[in-house]
């Protein structure tokens, strides 16, 4: 019984100390979007992952970054919002 209690306390400590690190290092999927005046449509980049908004803005280089929690949500958004990609 005493060993089980020690295992439980050790596991709880690891969980409580490890959870804030996991939450702060969450990966966010990002797509950059630019408006193409000549074609009157929106061009999008390939998706990439970032850990902060500053990193996303730096990678977009003037485009508008859009953030997604999963790749599935990202692809669903791209279908209706990246209209130039169908013409290429």
| Of 55 and 1, more confident | 55
Which CA distances in Å does 8 have to 2, 22, 47, 59? 10, 21, 41, 44
- Structural domain boundaries of the chain? 27-86
The rounded distance, in Å, linking the Cα atoms of 78 and 88 is: 15
Which pTM value belongs to this model?
Answer: 0.65
List pLDDT tens digits, range 41-69: 999 999 999 998 999 999 999 999 999 99
């Amino acid at each position: 019984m005493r060993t089980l209690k020690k295992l439980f306390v050790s596991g709880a400590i690891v969980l409580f100390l490890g959870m804030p690190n996991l939450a702060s290092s969450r990966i966010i999927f990002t797509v950059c979007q630019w408006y193409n005046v000549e074609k009157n449509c929106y061009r999008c980049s390939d998706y990439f992952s970032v850990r902060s908004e500053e990193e996303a803005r730096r990678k977009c280089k003037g485009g508008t970054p859009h953030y997604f929690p999963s790749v599935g949500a990202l692809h669903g958004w791209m279908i209706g919002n990246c209209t130039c990609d169908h013409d290429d």
